[in-house]
Amino acid sequence: MNITQTAISLNVADIDASASFAKTHFGYEEAMASDGFVSLQHATAGPNLIFLATGLPTFKPSEIAGPAGQGLLLVFVVEDLDEQFKRIEKAGASVVTPPATEPWGERYCQFADPNGLIWQLVQWVN
């Protein structure tokens, strides 16, 4: 198998809100968009993020076409977590968890976008 690209698709009520959050706070850029979806890419992150309007009739399988988010974390490993936390918080993002360090060396913080998706930054320490 030769995988040439990877994407994560998430159903959300307001695709523009999640796309704007990703572009404003995480540096994503729009790769393509049409009625009911937007695909975002990042210069240094792996998979594209695709936001699909909840209830889009072309979503298959339709029985799982509900909103994304429950139990889902969008996680990004960074080298400067505290600096990024301050920048994103100052820009007005909703803070879920301020920077904290787990005993195993994972320092993390979390934000919620307008659709309730949780965006987590991680930095490995010690």
Mean pLDDT, 10 residues at a time, over the chain (126 residues)? 88 96 97 95 92 88 80 92 98 98 96 95 92
**pLDDT on residue 112:** 96
Task: Report which of 39, 32, 35 is spatially closest to residue 18, judged by C-alpha positions.
Answer: 39
Residue 57, preceding bond cis, omega within 30 degrees? no
**pLDDT on residue 43:** 93
**pLDDT on residue 65:** 80
**pLDDT on residue 63:** 81
Q: What does pTM read for this prediction?
A: 0.91
**pLDDT on residue 25:** 97
Contact 10, 52 (CB under 8 A): yes
Contact 114, 24 (CB under 8 A): no
Show Cβ contacts of residue 31 under 8 Å, excluding neighbours closer than 6 positions: 39, 40, 41, 48
**pLDDT on residue 71:** 80
